[in-house]
Amino acid sequence: MSQARPRQQSRHRPPPLPAPRGTLSSAVTALLSGSRDATNLPSPEGADPYGDDLQLALYVLYELHYEGFQDVPEHLEWDGGLLTYRAALEDRFLGALRRDVPVDGTDTAGDALDELQVEPVDAPGSVSHFLRDRGDLGHLREYAALRSLYHLKEADPHAWVIPRLHGRAKAAMVAVEFDEFGGGRADEIHAQLFADLMADLGLETAYGHYVDAAPAEALATVNLMSLLGLHRARRAALIGHFAAVEVTSSPASRRLAEALGRVDAGPAAVRFYAEHVEADAVHEQVVRHDVVGGLLESEPELEADVVFGIRATTHLEDRLAATLLGAWRGGGTALRVS
């Protein structure tokens, strides 16, 4: 992995298009680079919904709504052909999630959130436990590189839900997002704090730099946020996702701060997770009682969607954890490329 560049260069230039990983992502990158048109695009039917090709194709299309890519015209963000193709890819991904994350009509959001707070004593599938107890600097650098796909735009996907909420839920969501965006201070924006963590670890801080290194399981965790955030009809599932993140963040952040401190990663690296220990413990209560509670008070028919968002998040995080721990326990790397 390359060394970090100066902090001020981390966000001011869009990344290049990533290397394709199959027919779907090849078609998407070719469309964006202008080397093909939107006719006769390969069908996603039969493609692995969790695989590298489909997940990268979705990731690239979603990134048009964030930073975009070098030499890709900005007007393509709302190109009708690209949106139609993205919808087909989304249907394939969402269909797999619906199949693998069934929601019973009797499930409640409160029960689903309570489930997240029950951890086995030895936590064999927990990445944060592994990193705290056994992780070395190389493991932590890999973890940070992969998590950078989200943390360098932390809170952005969830901000899309704000205009789709009302009353107590909206007010509480804005309050939490205000903290995520630094409470009005640019140097305290959580995305910047993560870039500082990466610099302490000797990583490249440029936005999107590690996409080519990310396995499909890492791309899927980021794609879920974008899929839910870009559709008003999925607003409750996005709230479920947000709640799942906040409920699990504080204890995991404590373990990660301990892991980084143990390997002397640097003050900025430790600080990112140390900040989340206290902040997310507070956020958990606000999200549970006011964001989720406020949403379901005004729209109780959306409870199953909230539960789906919680459990889909857990499902994809478990898949990523299995990939990371499988590689690390076998003495290998979780990255596709170094």
Identify the domain boundary among 46, 79, 100: 100
Per-residue pLDDT at 284: 86
Match 């009353």 to its residue by tokens.
167
Supply the pLDDT for residue 120: 61
pLDDT of amino acid 122: 62
Q: Are residues 64 and 201 in the same domain?
A: no
| Residue 2 belongs to some domain of the structure | no
Rg (Cα) of the chain, in Å, rounded? 19
Instruction: Point out the domain boundary residue: 100, 126, 148.
Output: 100
Q: Which domain holds residue 76?
A: 14-100
The terminus-to-terminus CA distance of the chain in angstroms comes to: 5
Tokens of 138: 């190389």
Does 9 fall in a domain?
Answer: no
Contact 307, 110 (CB under 8 A): no
Give me the CATH number covering residue 180: 1.20.910.10
DSSP reduced 3-state for 14: coil
**What is the pLDDT, as a whole number, of residue 54?**
98
Residue 8 within a domain: no
Q: How many domains does the chain have?
A: 2
Of residues 29, 18, 24, the one with CA closest to residue 215: 18
CA angle 225, 10, 201 (to 5 degrees): 90
Kindly state whether residues 50 and 122 are assigned to the same domain.
Answer: no
Judge whether 277 and 254 are in contact, CB under 8 Å: yes
Same-domain status, 287 and 227: yes
In order, the DSSP letters of 248-305 are: HHHHHHHHHHHHHHHTT--HHHHHHHHHHHHHHHHHHHHIIIIIIHHHHHH-GGGHHH
- 298 and 252, same structural domain? yes
**pLDDT at position 5:** 44
Rounded Cα distance between 147 and 62, Å, is 17
CB 69 within 8 A of CB 75: no
Instruction: Answer yes or no: do 164 and 297 share one domain.
Output: yes
Q: Is 125 within the bounds of a domain?
A: yes
Domain end residue (candidates: 100, 133, 157): 100
On whether residue 1 sits in a domain, the answer given is: no
The answer on 113 and 175 residing in a single domain is yes
Cite the DSSP H helix spans in the chain.
23-33, 52-63, 80-100, 109-116, 127-133, 137-151, 156-159, 167-180, 190-200, 216-229, 235-262, 267-286, 293-298, 303-329
6 assigned to some structural domain: no
Which pLDDT value is given to residue 9? 47
Query: Looking at the domain assignment, is residue 334 inside a domain?
Result: no
- The reply to whether 168 and 256 lie within a common domain is yes
* 213/253 same-domain check: yes
Provide the b/e sequence for 201-223 (b: ≥16 CB within 10 Å). Answer: bebbbbbbbbbebbbbbbbbbbb
Q: Within this chain, do residues 158 and 243 fall inside the same structural domain, yes or no?
A: yes
Question: Average pLDDT per run of 10 along the chain, which is 338 residues long?
Answer: 48 88 97 84 96 98 97 95 96 98 91 84 83 96 98 96 97 95 94 96 96 98 98 98 92 94 94 84 88 97 98 97 97 88
139 and 273 part of one domain: yes
Torsion angle defined by CA atoms of residues 14, 209, 192 and 142, in that order, rounded to the nearest 10 degrees? 170
Integer Cα distance of 90 and 116 in angstroms: 26
Q: Is there a single domain that holds both residue 178 and residue 299?
A: yes
- Residue 280 · residue 176 · CB < 8 Å: no
Checking phi first, is residue 40 left (phi over 0); if not, alpha (psi -120 to 50) or beta?
left
